[in-house]
Amino acid sequence: MRFFERCEAYFTDLQDRIIASLEALDGGRFLHDDWQRPPLPAASSVADHDGPVLGGGGRTRVLEGGRIFEKAGVNFSSVRGYFSREFAATMPGDGRYFEASGVSLVLHPRNPHVPTVHMNVRRLSRGDTGWFGGGADLTPYYLDEGSARDFHAAYKAACAAHPKVGDYAAMKQTCDEYFFLPHRGEARGIGGIFFDHLSDAPEDTFAFVRAVGDAFVPSYVPIVERFQDAPVTEAEREWQLIRRGRYVEFNLVHDRGTTFGLKTGGRTESILMSLPNAVAWRYDHQPEAGSREAELVEVLRNPREW
């Protein structure tokens, strides 16, 4: 089995395990949408074509209107094809042919005391160059320091178990810098870890990536269980919708995964599954001084070490 195929096998198993855990937690069932692109044309027929040409397929899994999750998406994709000439100039490696596979998830809970979460792990290759990317980050609406510490501890442990690859301090800093809205002057959430273009020692790196993927359920499900039944006021729901607006802003303006998917001719429904169903923008909204909402914003503007 090729190395890339071993990565694919892990990603599909990870998707299945995460969905099983979330369905057991929520009680709802994910919609299964398997998709497949037509076979790729011969390379010779692509040579004079400037735009992207894609093959491969994926398994989109979406839960809407659940008991706990207002919207949840856990997607697997394995695509191959040819970058556009313009986009190829921005990517590592040689030639236009590429392969990309991975799992990406975003979960938007109903209760504003349960944080939104994102996680992805992926493998890309182009020519003789291959690399891994991924990470996980937490986006609370109300800050719970214990949950923040527990979430970070899970990924700190994954890094510590693979010291040749996993550098928690560096990956935490990269996460804080990446998931940042410069036009707002604040982070999207309280971070986690983020890494990209890990190309050295592929076997060691693959083991680290598996540790990151396997850490997701134990890092997040206990937080959900802790707060899923917390009482909610109308004001707290309104704050959740406003903060979701920041999430949308980041994903549409700054997120590399969204850009990669759209610029390579990716499947729009799968790419944009990360967006919440309900969201709000309020003109120049400012939280009341000394409130829990203001406490959260302070942390988003001044990231902490957890």
Torsion of CA 100, 102, 108, 112, to 10 degrees: -110
What's the pLDDT at 88? 63
**118 included as an active-site residue:** yes
| CATH architecture designation of domain 3-301 | 3-Layer(aba) Sandwich (3.40)
Cα radius of gyration (the chain) = 19
Cα separation, 23 vs 76, in Å, equals: 17
Q: Which single residue is written with the structure tokens 């735009």? A: 51
Per-residue pLDDT of the chain (306 residues; tens, 9 = 90+): 899 999 999 999 999 999 999 999 999 999 999 999 888 777 656 666 666 677 899 999 999 999 999 999 999 999 988 877 777 677 777 777 889 999 999 999 999 999 999 999 999 988 888 999 999 999 999 999 999 999 999 999 999 999 999 999 999 999 999 999 999 999 999 999 999 999 989 999 999 999 999 999 999 999 999 999 999 999 999 999 999 999 999 999 998 878 777 776 778 888 888 899 999 999 999 999 999 999 999 999 999 999
Work out the burial of residue 24: count CB atoms within 10 Å of its CB; fewer than 13 is exposed, 13-18 middle, 19 or more buried.
exposed
pLDDT (0 to 100) of residue 270 = 81
Pairing mode, if any, of strands 116-126 and 97-109? antiparallel
Angle between helices 216-227 and 3-26 (to 10 degrees): 10
- Given the residues 49, 108, 113, 118, the one annotated as active site: 118
Residue 216 parent element (H or E): helix 216-227
Nearby residues of 153 by Cβ (< 8 Å), 6 or more positions away: 306
CA distance 158 to 219: 11
**Residue 86 to residue 219: CA distance in whole angstroms:** 39
pLDDT of residue 50: 65
- pLDDT at site 96: 76
Contacts of 229 by beta carbon, 8 Å cutoff, 6+ apart = 111
Domain assignments of the chain as residue spans, ordered by start: 3-301
> What's the rounded Cα separation, in Å, for the pair 256 and 118?
14
